[in-house]
Structure formats: C-alpha cells, structure tokens
Amino acid sequence: MASKLFSHLNNHPRTKLAIQLSFATIFIPSIPILFWSHNAKKEREEREHEVATKLRIPSVQTIDDLMVEKCQPGDVLLFDRRCDYCASGFVAAMACYVGKAILCEEDDGTRSVERGKYEHCGIVVPGLSASKGAQHDPSNLCLLEATSGSGITCRPLLTRLEMSRSRSVILLPLSCPGERRYESDDDEGVGLTEQTKVLKEQTHNELSKFRDKWLTDSHTQQYDKQHSYLSIMGAMLYQTGLYATFPIPISPSAWLVVSALQECGAAMKLNEKQSQQTKVEDFTRDGRFFEKDTVRLRPGWKFLAPVVLRETSSSA
C-alpha cells in the first residue's frame, strides 16, 4: 500500500515539481554556507600550523610573551570575536552572531572599556604540568573556556592568544585583598603579607580543582555538542525575558567563568542562578559601583583596569 502511494506521488507532475522546489530551496542557500565553512576550517588549520611552526628565538620575548608574564590564575579574558572566523560550523557562527546581537548592548558610559562587543570569555587557570617550579611559571598558565568545537577546554594561554582572530582581547586582572599588582616587588611575591600569600595559594589550588572537574564533566557529558545550542537558547530566553524561569545560562562562557570565581572565593554567590544569569559584558562594569548587570566580587577582591592584549580594526 505504501509503495503504491509513493509510486503515485512520484509520478504526479505537481509532486515532482514540489520535490524539486523543496530541494532547490534547501540546497541552493546551503552552497555559500558550505563554502564559508570550508574556508573557515582551512584558515583555522593554516593558523594552527603557523603557530605550531613559529620560530622562537631563546631569550627573545614577543609582546604576547610579555603579556602572558603579567597574567595570574583568576584573571579574566574577554573576546570581541569575529563570527565569520568560527571554524566549528554554522551553528557555532550563528551562536556568535545571536550573542552579539542580543547580549551585547550599546556603550552607555558604564563600561570600563570604550568599544567592542564582548560575547565570549575565559579564565586563566594553572596549567596541567606538575613538574617542579611549574606552579608559578607564567608559561604554564592556561585559559579555561567553554567552546563549541571542543567543549570545556584548557589550552596554554600563549597559544590561545596567538591563535585568536578576535577583533579585541581584553585582560581583567584579578586582585585579591592585600595584593598590589604590577609592582616590581609583588611580581616576585615580595611584599605580600602571609595572609595574602595563603589566599593566593588557596585560589591557585581551588582553580586547579575546578579545572579538573569541569574538564572531566565536559568529556563525560559531551558538552561540545551542546554549547552552541545552549548559547542560542540562552540569548533567546534573555531577549524574551524568560531566562529566570529556565535553568539555562544566558551565556555559557560567562557562566563557567563566574562559577570558577565563586569556587575560588573571589566572587559572591548571592543565589544559585547568579552565575547562569551573567553576561560577558557584565565583567566590564565595576561591581563596587553598580548593582545590576555586573559581577559582584567579595570584599577586598577587585578587577584592575582593563589591559588590551590584542586589538585590530573593526573592519579587519
């Protein structure tokens, strides 16, 4: 019966025309998408090869090397990404575009950065190396972030900066109580009180535990297949005002970073949904002066003035 029905439909002229039009409607628009996806993946592979084979002269530091030396576990990086360079597929690019369109507001004078639409972020964590002296080695620092292609990833910070094709990358240095960042004495750990040293050591250990836990959970729960869809759903729920009803993060990358800051004791944990309702651009507002659309840190903790790690023209 079913075979006769399909045979009748296939022999019907209008059915054939409808099938052809449906195929054309789906296939023709997908051609530029497939072309873009191929070029994006090819460009990413070329970039990876370029970074991997980069000639590094001993005792000669690049600007990225100098920037990484100033980073510490707990620092936050904000990315103003170029969505057309997303090499993880069409859905990942759409998540980027939707995030910028909905979650990135026009500068109203309350942000600590003048320009840019930041919809992705990551947190600096201790590296995976357990060798002697690696704990305080800047070259061992990694960036923990939520991504579409690899789920929760932990990549060397220097490599991540060199691989980035973002328009702008901003560093928000995290300062704990009693710490004075970017002073020559404190760079070597001299001048810190014992209480501050203990606090920094605790932050280091808690971020290491957080890193291991989330990397394991990401692998077991196959988060890499969920990130893009969660990003789109979170942005749409925020747009409709229904985000408080559903246990879905508005921005998965911001959710990860705020959760890490709460875990190490730097950020306040006012309620269970606080980290889920945080946007990336909330990091650009000082929680000491704003109560809304900001990341609230615990007393004594603060983000220092933003540092530009990478910036290109908006048309590049």
Q: How many residues does the chain have?
A: 316
Residues 275 and 169 reside in one and the same domain: yes
Residue whose C-alpha is closest to residue 253's, from 155, 165, 144, 138: 144
Residues 139 and 255 reside in one and the same domain: yes
Residue whose C-alpha is closest to residue 140's, from 193, 211, 80, 53: 211
Side chain identity, residue 140: N
230, part of any domain: yes
Residues 219 and 186 reside in one and the same domain: yes
Contact 176, 301 (CB under 8 A): yes
Contact 292, 129 (CB under 8 A): no
96, part of any domain: yes
Residue 250 structure tokens: 């508005």
8, part of any domain: yes
Residues 193 and 236 reside in one and the same domain: yes
- Supply the pLDDT for residue 144: 95
Helix/strand/coil for 230: helix
- Supply the pLDDT for residue 37: 64
12 is in which domain, residue-wise? 2-46
What residues contact 35, with CB distance under 8 A and at least 6 apart? none
- Supply the pLDDT for residue 209: 94
Residues 166 and 35 reside in one and the same domain: no
Residues 74 and 35 reside in one and the same domain: no
185, part of any domain: yes
Residues 197 and 260 reside in one and the same domain: yes
239, part of any domain: yes
54, part of any domain: no
Residue 95 structure tokens: 């998540």
316, part of any domain: no
Residues 105 and 246 reside in one and the same domain: yes
Residues 23 and 157 reside in one and the same domain: no
Mark out the alpha helices in 143-221 (DSSP H runs).
Answer: 157-163, 184-187, 194-220
- Supply the pLDDT for residue 5: 41
Helix/strand/coil for 200: helix
55, part of any domain: no
Residue whose C-alpha is closest to residue 276's, from 305, 261, 299, 256: 256
- Supply the pLDDT for residue 110: 63
Contact 309, 161 (CB under 8 A): yes
- Supply the pLDDT for residue 162: 84
Q: How far apart are CA 276 and CA 45, in angstroms?
A: 33
DSSP tally for the chain: helices H, then strands E: 9, 8
Contact 186, 192 (CB under 8 A): yes
Q: How far apart are CA 281 and CA 285, in angstroms?
A: 8
Query: How many domains is the chain partitioned into structurally?
Result: 2
Question: Across the 316 residues of the chain, what is the mean pLDDT of every consecutive 10-residue run?
Answer: 47 54 52 61 70 72 78 92 75 85 73 76 87 70 90 90 86 88 56 81 92 92 88 90 86 93 88 82 78 84 87 55
Contact 123, 143 (CB under 8 A): yes
- Supply the pLDDT for residue 207: 94
Residues 30 and 79 reside in one and the same domain: no
Residues 288 and 209 reside in one and the same domain: yes
Residues 96 and 166 reside in one and the same domain: yes
